[in-house]
Structure 1
Amino acid sequence: MLGIPRYFGLRGNALNLAISWIAGLDFLLFGYDQGVTGGLLDLESFIKYFPDINDKAEGISDAESKARSTYQGITVAAYNLGCFLGAVFTIFVGNPLGRRKTIFYGSIIMTIGALLQCTSYDLPQFVVGRIVTGWGNGMNTSTVPTWQSETAQAHARGRLVMIEGMLITAGIMISYWINYGMAWIGDNEVSWRFPLAFQIVFALIIFSAILNLPESPRWLLMQGREEDALQVLEALNDKHREDPFIKNEFESVKLTVLEMSKGSYASLFKMSEYREFHRVVLAYVNQMFQQISGINLITYYAPLLFQDIGLGHNNYPKLLAACNGTEYFLASLVPIFIIERIGRRKLMLFGAAGMSLSMVALAVSLQQLQKSQAEGKGNTAGPAQAVFLFVFNTFFAIGWLGMTWLYPAEIVPLRIRAPTNALSTSGNWIFNFMVVMITPVAFANIQWRTYVIFAVINAAIFPVVYFFYPETRYRSLEEMDDIFKKSSNVFDVVSISLNEPHRYDKDGQLKPEYIDGVMQRKSVHDEQKVEHSEGSS
């Protein structure tokens, strides 16, 4: 590749970190896109070109204000609609293109969309640009977790994908601070065109580097490219192909790929011994839960929320939003260090409980604030509102931020992993679209009760996770197939996942008692190949 060494000359841990860095950069770009627009909505230089979404304009009626809040929701949520369309598109092109090429084309599409946005002079072009940007991001977010999980070792997979989640918040934080800095330069159009254009830098790095990094060895085996898959495994583990670990890993993956290579899109809705539809539903609902928790009513509209609680002067809303984003980023560091020790289920349960209680506090404090303002008593509950916006983000960052990019990739069988992750990601984006779309309308019509709705939803998430979501900690992708094969209904898979012995230790080493089993399955497979060859002859 233009004289550049294969995989940039990296092997082992360094190569795994490079994959994580590019995968994380895509999620940083995803976070940046989420956070950047909310800080532009109140800029005079922005409103000048897009007055139809300014619901705070002086001299307009309540009806006009509510109509403009709807237009605002449509404009901001157009990005999420594009992400949904891109995710659905990936269901059909993800496996034929492969993991790397899908991310490559997705990054190019995002660049085109960013150019359309930052050069807009009217609302239709701006909305189209957001849809195009979202389309590319939908392709990437449907593919990156799959690529990451299929190239990572079982003991490190959770931590690496949590780093991706952390980088979402890093992108949000960067966008908030850029918006805050741009707010001080007055009516110059660069205050909103530069933040929108800056995302192109991230996309350029991604599509410039992605094709010189390893393809998923599992996808390569699905395409019959055994030599390429073996070379990737050697590079990822920095071991020679004759090493017992590489032999066991290669044969384990190969046997699973060969056994399950007959899958089709229709398999997403079947219930064979691998319980495909059961696992697809778990993946889809997991992604849906992340969005209906209400996180993006804060992420997309944080500056406006701080403005509406009486903190609107001297660019304080943007400063508080930037601080909120920074605290969000710091909280997202926590699961990187505890995800493999504590496990997926406990973090999801912790997050759901904390988010529900935070939403209750937000509802109560906003009700008191609106009551005090109506009675002319001033801003008595505003500080409490600000605090619990921070608290909610903390629980979400620890429990759910990276989880829904990790868990669906771990829970589904290989033959439908790519289309399932695309489908589940489409669920993430369509519910993301719904939340971002209704937020301005809900606050305009039912005010503090908006938070009550999300408090109830988060409370309902807790028992669903407890009873239906199995633990995937320290499990290889192939182990999850065996766990679901032993399951007979939707209720017993949790207990099986908690009680089934692990094949790998916490350092990712295959336990001695399983080495013979892997080699025995290889021997049986070789005998079957010989018998098939003789029968054909």
Structure 2
Amino acid sequence: MLHLGRSFASCFPPSLSQFGIGSMKNFYGLRGTALNIAIAVVAGTDFALFGYDQGVMGGLLTLKSFLKYFPQISTAGKTGAAASRASNIQGITVGGYTLGCFFGALATIWLGNILGRKRTIFVGSTIMIIGATIQCSSYSLGQLIASRLITGFGNGMNTSTVPTWQAETSKSHRRGQMVMIEGMLIVFGVMLSYWIDLGFSFLEPSTTAWRFPIAFQIVLALFIVCTIPGLPESPRWLVLKGRDQRALEVLAALQDLPEDDPIVQDEFRAVKDTVFEMAKGSFSDVFKTNKNRNLHRTILGYVNQMFQQISGINIITYYAATIFEQSIGLSSFLSRLLAACNGTEYFLASFIAIFTIEKIGRRKLMLFGAAGQAASMAILAGATSQGTGNQGLGILAAVFLFVFNSFFAVGWLGMTWLYPAEITPLDIRAPANAISTTANWIFNFMVVMVTPVAFNSIGYKTYVVFAVINAFMIPCVYLFFPETAYRSLEEMDEIFHQVHGLKGAFTVVKVAREKPHRYGKNGELLIAWDETEEAREVERRRSSVGQQGGKPYGMDDGVAEKKEVV
């Protein structure tokens, strides 16, 4: 696999396979907070692109100029078998993007540790540009579906990698806030797509009304491709590849401290010792029930991503305008306007999570969100059960589409891009996060595919199904998901080392609650790495295997002295 990875990386042109030369130390001249913000901006742009892609199609499904080229996806005025067929085609067309994301996430399981975090994002963004170019120039349904699959493949690579890159280059007391900002930018992308859809709908019957909104995503992808080469690679990935000096440079730049500063040295030792323990990781290790509890932690990440999707959020994200028009009975223009307003309110609500994620913690926000989502879906079911004739109930339903989005924005929007990256150990972090992201996309595809069919078949009862699912999520989070706020990634390893067997699935929450923190709420060091039992255990093991030259355990000379530049 090592030689295969070298061969694969060598396939890229020098501008890609060597990007980072001359910039690794400089990072555009940024250090400390400024550098962290730059990383967050690029990562956030990727999530804005993700959100834009999710939302843009929803506002086009009822445009006459769009349906002129793709009449097969229109469900308006159709009944019986014709309506069922149109619903299926609409689901496939919209869901093709998420299916592509699923396969992109699968590819990252293999590519993630070969290419590294930055190059994976670079390749994914390039693929998205190709897919979006084909998509906005589509003249047939087959071309549209195929291009959405291509675009999705690139996005699947990105969304499997960006959270890991962000988590591994952030301070523990800022990590949650940074990823919540990315979650907010997902919604910014959704909101932007809704308003662009609305604005360009006035150009009907010109095809520009739908071609430009689809093409606009290329701008965001180009920004990522142009800026990510000069930003730092994950220091943990660099250590994993035996490039300790590079990793130390990155850690020092992120802290805006000299390389020999005690804080930088302490973090470097913690990272290096963790890699020493885990350097023999492989994809099969994801499924091991070992001391690191790899399978347990992978399942937590997978279920966390699955819960986000089966909450029903993408009923609204993808089909908001259609729901306002066909389920509530509003006009085409008013439906698109309300969808845009809904996206704006969704974006504003996402700010709440930025300021509460560290203060309140991950668990409480997830519990709060799930409870509110369950109640909102139940009210939506009641409000739409009488059809479209009751104006008062229609208004109530419209209001609770907004309310549902607000609860989701606070509790689950950014959480599932943060939590899996925090919960998994270093050696399996890339494949485990890719696996968890496949859950996001396969269940996303399922919801998007089933939604038109469900509304056509069981109507308002669709909301009942999602109300029950959200209610079920509450005890699951309470019993099984440990708190990760103010924990370094290495601390999470220590927590899982202290639980054992099947019982550990139930006790890990308690252990996480009771274990002292190494870092304070402002990032100050409370307990040095050398003072932890974990560090002493690592040192005992290092001595027992007689490690030479300071190379991580399990790495041969070729890896430790590897000259590949990222």
2:73 pairs with 1:53: yes
Q: CA deviation at 1:291?
A: 0.1
Quote the Cα distance in structure 2 between the aligned partners of 1:416 and 1:292: 25
2:178 pairs with 1:166: no
**Residue 504 to residue 361, structure 1, CA distance change in 2 (3 Å):** same
2:476 pairs with 1:461: no
Q: Which residue of 2 aligns with 1:402?
A: 414
**Residue 192 to residue 533, structure 1, CA distance change in 2 (3 Å):** closer
1:3-152 map, 5 Å = 6-56=26-76, 58=77, 60-152=78-170
Bigger Cα displacement from structure 2, 63-72 vs 302-311: 302-311
Q: Which residue of 2 aligns with 1:243?
A: 261
Q: CA deviation at 1:2?
A: 9.8
Bigger Cα displacement from structure 2, 40-49 vs 3-12: 3-12
AA matched with 1:35: G
TM-score, structure 1 as length reference = 0.95
Partners of 2:362 and 2:483 within 8 A in 1: yes
Q: Which residue of 2 aligns with 1:267?
A: 285
2:513 pairs with 1:498: yes
Partners of 2:269 and 2:529 within 8 A in 1: no
Quote the Cα distance in structure 2 between the aligned partners of 1:290 and 1:408: 12
1:414-453 map, 5 Å = 414-453=426-465
Structure 1 residue corresponding to 2:242, chosen from 215, 224, 227:
224
TM-score, structure 2 as length reference = 0.90
Partners of 1:471 and 1:494 within 8 A in 2: yes
Q: CA deviation at 1:55?
A: 1.1
- For 1:411-431, what per-residue CA distance to the aligned partner results, in whole angstroms no more than 9, with x for missing partners? 011100000000000010000
- For 1:349-404, what per-residue CA distance to the aligned partner results, in whole angstroms no more than 9, with x for missing partners? 0001000000000000000345xx3xxxx533110010000000000000000000
1:383-398 map, 5 Å = 383-398=395-410
**Residue 72 to residue 513, structure 1, CA distance change in 2 (3 Å):** closer
Quote the Cα distance in structure 2 between the aligned partners of 1:468 and 1:523: 31
2:226 pairs with 1:208: yes
Percent of aligned positions with the same letter in both sequences?
57
**Residue 226 to residue 514, structure 1, CA distance change in 2 (3 Å):** closer
Q: CA deviation at 1:298?
A: 0.3
2:325 pairs with 1:307: yes
**Residue 242 to residue 523, structure 1, CA distance change in 2 (3 Å):** farther
1:253-264 map, 5 Å = 253-264=271-282
**Residue 184 to residue 125, structure 1, CA distance change in 2 (3 Å):** same
Partners of 1:475 and 1:503 within 8 A in 2: yes
Bigger Cα displacement from structure 2, 511-520 vs 405-414: 511-520
Q: CA deviation at 1:185?
A: 1.7
Q: CA deviation at 1:312?
A: 3.1
**Residue 385 to residue 255, structure 1, CA distance change in 2 (3 Å):** same
Structure 2 residue corresponding to 1:337, chosen from 347, 355, 368:
355
Q: CA deviation at 1:532?
A: 5.2
Q: Which residue of 1 aligns with 2:3?
A: none
AA matched with 1:7: F
Aligned-partner SS, 1:38? coil
The alignment's C-alpha RMSD in Å is 1.9
2:490 pairs with 1:478: yes
Partners of 1:309 and 1:379 within 8 A in 2: no
Quote the Cα distance in structure 1 between the aligned partners of 2:43 and 2:482: 26
The answer for unaligned runs of 5 or more in structure 1 is: none
